[in-house]
Structure 1
Amino acid sequence: MNNNQTCPDYMSPELSAPHQSVDLLKDIIKRYGQTHYARAGQMIRDADFHSQVFWVDSGVLLLRTDAQYSIANFGKNQLIGVNNIFQGGMPDHYLEVVEDTRYTVCPVEHFLHHLDDGRVVLAIAEHINWQAMVMAFYVSVMLREDAYGKVKFALELLSKASAEFRDHISVVKFVCERTGVSKAHAHSILKQLRLGGYIEMTAGNLVQIFKHLPSAY
């Protein structure tokens, strides 16, 4: 990725998840699932995560690979865990509850029982294809970009997230967990971007990006 390229909209579930597919899969979750509540700071892992598909009714969740890295965030009216339908799809992943959350969970068995319905198979395939496209772009950024390019990408990605999510996570935490850039380096870059009038932050949270971020640092 060239540093002049912005983070594409398809990186955001809120903007580009395949809506018809999401709606069909949501219907299965709502028909067979159960509502749960989780408090901020709680972790959803092991069988509680890997054997379920989730629909977020309210709140904020992070998808983590470990305590140091997160790879996705989810909020109201978003779908999580479609890969779990095929066992082993996300073996080390788990969810962290960022804000008190209400969600509906449906055991993957109910999706397996619907695989004779071509619409369900297509919906699953479309969603997984979108996830693969998102991950391919993310990996390309991590492999090709320098520290500034990674911070730029993370800022643009965060700006596409809901205000609810941005209010519950600091910019530095988000940048470091998504990119592996050190806190000191992230602080330095963010300071220069603030001084240059590119971004607005309040209490460590991103408010907005005022203009296109510079191509180099």
Structure 2
Amino acid sequence: MEKPHQQINTVMTTLITSTAFPSDIYSFSAHAVREGQHIGDNVFIIIEGKMSLRNQHNQLLLVDVYGPYILNLIPDILSRTYIIGEESQFSYISYPRNVFYSHIDHHNLWPEIFDILSYSSIHLGEQLEIMKLRSLYEVVKYYLIKINDSDVLRDRENICNYITSRTGYSKSGVMTILKELKKGGYLGIANGKLRWLKTLPLKF
């Protein structure tokens, strides 16, 4: 399912242009806030930049959210377990939940909200499934396939850094698996980037 850009922009435009309440824009950076800040209960409108959400107990990455986006539409889903990662940097508007819902109701924007929630549930569901994988190899295998399926990721991302920044696993552990897969002829790496990938073995 593709990101519902049109629906997000429609909701954001009506909020920002509304004269019923202020829409002050703030900037988030790790240097300006306390460590381990929770997202809270407000609805977040991410205008631009990246918000990283990490598990507060083990620092595993749940998801990178790129603006424009509307986050935290359902209460308590993210606010209690996940924190904003220190690598995050984004501009945003924060609305009290009751104010946001009232605005959506007044402008009859529930169909747009439904599409945004549908996308979010699928996207977050995929990430939660990754966190359930039982071994480091299964995680590395998942991300190798993801990188291989994206021209942008293959050209831009260092494989090891990409995986470790999203999982909390050690660089040495990830590199050991990558080296063995390369030795076995399952993949090609140049300057830390994936060049090609064959069908990977079920187990390592």
Q: TM-score, normalised by structure 2?
A: 0.69
Distance 1:194 1:33 in 2: 51
- Corresponding residue for residue 5 of structure 2: 19
- Corresponding residue for residue 164 of structure 2: 173
CA RMSD after TM alignment: 3.6
- Corresponding residue for residue 4 of structure 1: none
Unaligned runs of 5+ in 2: none
1:170 match: secondary structure: helix
- Corresponding residue for residue 25 of structure 2: 35
- Corresponding residue for residue 113 of structure 2: 124
- Corresponding residue for residue 92 of structure 2: 104
Count of aligned residue pairs for this structure pair: 190
Distance 2:60 2:131 in 1: 13
Distance 2:201 2:68 in 1: 32
Listed one character per residue, the Cα deviations across residues 83-109 of structure 1 (whole Å, up to 9, x for unaligned) are 3x332121222212426x341213134
2:33 matched to 1:45? no
Listed one character per residue, the Cα deviations across residues 141-189 of structure 1 (whole Å, up to 9, x for unaligned) are 55466542321212344565966x947x923423533xxx565542221
User: 1:63–1:135: structure 2 CA closer, same or farther, 3 Å change rule?
Assistant: same
Cα drift, residue 209 of structure 1: 4.7
Listed one character per residue, the Cα deviations across residues 4-62 of structure 1 (whole Å, up to 9, x for unaligned) are xxxxxx4xxxxx2122222223324533532222335655734x64313131423x331
Distance 1:147 1:187 in 2: 11
Stretches of 4+ aligned residues off by more than 6 angstroms: none
User: 1:54–1:136: structure 2 CA closer, same or farther, 3 Å change rule?
Assistant: same
Contact 2:52 2:84 in 1 (8 A): yes
User: 1:65–1:214: structure 2 CA closer, same or farther, 3 Å change rule?
Assistant: same
Distance 2:60 2:46 in 1: 23
Identify the structure with bigger relative contact order (alpha carbons < 8 Å, sequence gap 6+).
1
- Corresponding residue for residue 155 of structure 1: 144
* Selected match of 1:134 from 123, 129, 136: 123
2:87 match: secondary structure: strand
Aligned-residue identity in percent: 13
Distance 1:112 1:38 in 2: 24
Cα drift, residue 63 of structure 1: 0.9
Distance 1:122 1:186 in 2: 43
Contact 1:61 1:73 in 2 (8 A): yes
User: 1:139–1:36: structure 2 CA closer, same or farther, 3 Å change rule?
Assistant: closer
Unaligned runs of 5+ in 1: 1-9, 11-15
